[in-house]
Structure 1
């Protein structure tokens, strides 16, 4: 009983403190609030009493992050990565409240460019999608949908949302009986935005996003001859940027699937581009691919061999080699 009273008093005092020290006479936020914002990531990293201090810190952050300068301080303190694990399906009333306030923090951060850039490197989006799929709590769904709406036009988030099946999830959410008009409006706007994204996102744009994010997988376009014939000249954009990234993946990735797909795509480029062999050689692709011929994974070895064969044979004979 004493602990509950203490936590509640602490929670209220933190919020009151944020307002008391947060604004001067001019109404601008001062150093005191920024200090509080920096203290909360520490409390999330090293909670003195996880059952109470983490919810208290999140509750306070949900208030403090309304201020732009606090968002900057929080991101600089590497606070976002501490929020990500808290985005998970909840069942008890206490955990639902913690989830809601965590998502509220993410929504507030979605208005800050550097926070959005950081979120793009985390699993924030997949986790939000997972939560919204199964949540029946209206306020949780609302704040997540509003976050999706904010992120939709930022970077590669639109393509990721489509890949994660969000258009179908939105359809399912719209079929439910929500009473919140803001939620219904946000769902309609999100649905329209996703529809526009699908129209705008050509097969090559989707491929490009996949490569730039390093999320290479055996999606249908990789083995579709029509895709390569129709889009081969697009690989010339930005001084063969996509090809350069594929070569970099060969050097840096530890994912066998990504390595196998990168080798295969390079071999396809060599086959379909008139100067494919020359370009790939200039980018030092041969040396990198040859190293992978001894990879422990059979799929990587197979596609590395195919790529090396096409590098040596060139486009004229490459079509005779079957993957």
Structure 2
């Protein structure tokens, strides 16, 4: 059978020649006794053995993974550990028992002499997948370090070089990013990586390593409306990763400048899965007060979406509370944003439309000096939009706004002329859109003739 399609149940049906390994001194007599008692036994019997002597079994399993290279045996032991942890994830604590202080329980998964036997990197897909899952559980179960004492055999007085927790976490992140870029398994590589990442991003070191590895951008393509149960789970766990990253400041810059928010909005508008909606709303709530996220959310129409979501029958009280908090936060955000802040956000994002402020004389009268900020940055962006946009609505609005600036600013004609806007506007007078040509003509009239005559000529 193809190793990529193996499952734990199939692997555990094998007969492993433990006696042969003892003869060749690859396992000890004590190890053989423990394995004979454990092997091919009912789950309830194995559970009792683990309750009575769990750390001893962990020591045997780790020593086999470290010393025996035969693929079938490695797969078998990984399957035993996987079965043990799946039945009770709390058993991962056994790997950190004090009696294992001199055992490097991470070593077989991440490193060995000359890197010939590194399970996470060199094994087949079954070995890689189980190693990833097991490592993530072991890492998550480790006790908090205290002065002078480090978990997993890393005693401060030890002369042996042990695998540090930072080694493990960085090694895992490297493998996870590799899977997201080029999966080892066509259908399970990415889901396995995201599942593991969703549990590990609680770790500050993992967040840091993941951002430094440019991993955030690997998540964005996975945020899209899902249909099958498998794709819904992948979407949920991807959004869970983003929620965890929303607590980490260095990740915010990428989230703010990528397509993350629009994609999340698209998903939350169409998803009926409560857990998906909940984790996205919680992410929005986290991001709302940070940087320009609040303004982006308003621009993307999130206040209306939240109202629509509130009208649906959700059973999750956390979701309902988060929706109420997000709604209140968005209202506060809208109040805090002056009309010019909203206008500026619209221009900088390139999302020009006929929102009320464009044709409101009070807006131009009250905010005309704001256009002088940063060496007339907003005017320069409007002129760039005229030069580069393919959106006829954006071109028409940009022409209109430039004409409004000329009309309301005392030195408007001089400033716009100095910014070399005339040539751009003249080109737009031959545009195929009547809306664009009309507003380009208005702008040129005000530029050449002044506001009084342009108003008279406007039709």
> TM-score, structure 2 length as denominator?
0.62
Structure 1 SS opposite 2:307: helix
- Provide the residue aligned with 1:220 in structure 2: 356
Measured in 1, the distance between the counterparts of 2:395 and 2:209 equals: 38
Task: Summarize the alignment of residues 37-48 of structure 1 with structure 2, pairs less than 5 Å apart.
Answer: 37-48=173-184
Shift of 1:191: 1.8
The Cα offsets for residues 139-170 of structure 1, whole Å up to 9 and x where unpaired, read as 22221111010111223322332333322332
1:186 aligns with 2:322: yes
- CA, structure 1 residues 141+46, in 2 after alignment: closer, same or farther (shift >3 Å)? same
1:16 aligns with 2:131: no
Report the more deviating stretch, 172-181 or 262-271: 172-181
Measured in 2, the distance between the counterparts of 1:88 and 1:160 equals: 19
Shift of 1:193: 0.6
1:5 aligns with 2:7: yes
Structure with the higher helix share, 1 or 2: 1
Task: Summarize the alignment of residues 74-223 of structure 1 with structure 2, pairs less than 5 Å apart.
Answer: 74-223=210-359
The Cα offsets for residues 168-208 of structure 1, whole Å up to 9 and x where unpaired, read as 33234334444433323322211211121222233322111
- CA, structure 1 residues 233+43, in 2 after alignment: closer, same or farther (shift >3 Å)? same
- CA, structure 1 residues 47+308, in 2 after alignment: closer, same or farther (shift >3 Å)? farther
- CA, structure 1 residues 21+175, in 2 after alignment: closer, same or farther (shift >3 Å)? closer
Are 1:274 and 1:315, in contact at CA under 8 Å, matched by a contact in 2? no
Shift of 1:280: 1.4
Length, aligned pairs only: 323
Report the more deviating stretch, 96-105 or 277-286: 277-286
Shift of 1:29: 5.3
Shift of 1:218: 2.9
User: Which structure ranks higher in relative contact order (CA pairs < 8 Å, sequence separation ≥ 6)?
Assistant: 1
Shift of 1:56: 0.9
Q: Which runs of 5+ in 2 are unaligned?
A: 9-124, 152-163
Q: Which runs of 5+ in 1 are unaligned?
A: none
Measured in 2, the distance between the counterparts of 1:35 and 1:188 equals: 41
Measured in 1, the distance between the counterparts of 2:375 and 2:216 equals: 35
**Larger gyration radius, structure 1 or structure 2:** 2
Measured in 2, the distance between the counterparts of 1:219 and 1:230 equals: 17
Structure 1 SS opposite 2:227: coil
Are 2:299 and 2:346, in contact at CA under 8 Å, matched by a contact in 1? no
Shift of 1:301: 4.2
Measured in 2, the distance between the counterparts of 1:144 and 1:151 equals: 11
The Cα offsets for residues 110-141 of structure 1, whole Å up to 9 and x where unpaired, read as 12233222222233222222222333333222
- CA, structure 1 residues 316+172, in 2 after alignment: closer, same or farther (shift >3 Å)? closer
Are 2:129 and 2:192, in contact at CA under 8 Å, matched by a contact in 1? yes
Measured in 2, the distance between the counterparts of 1:77 and 1:320 equals: 60
Q: CA RMSD in A?
A: 3.1
Shift of 1:213: 1.6
Shift of 1:322: 2.6
Shift of 1:272: 1.8
- Provide the residue aligned with 1:313 in structure 2: 449
Are 1:277 and 1:315, in contact at CA under 8 Å, matched by a contact in 2? no
- Provide the residue aligned with 2:416 in structure 1: 280
Measured in 2, the distance between the counterparts of 1:31 and 1:270 equals: 62
Measured in 2, the distance between the counterparts of 1:260 and 1:40 equals: 47
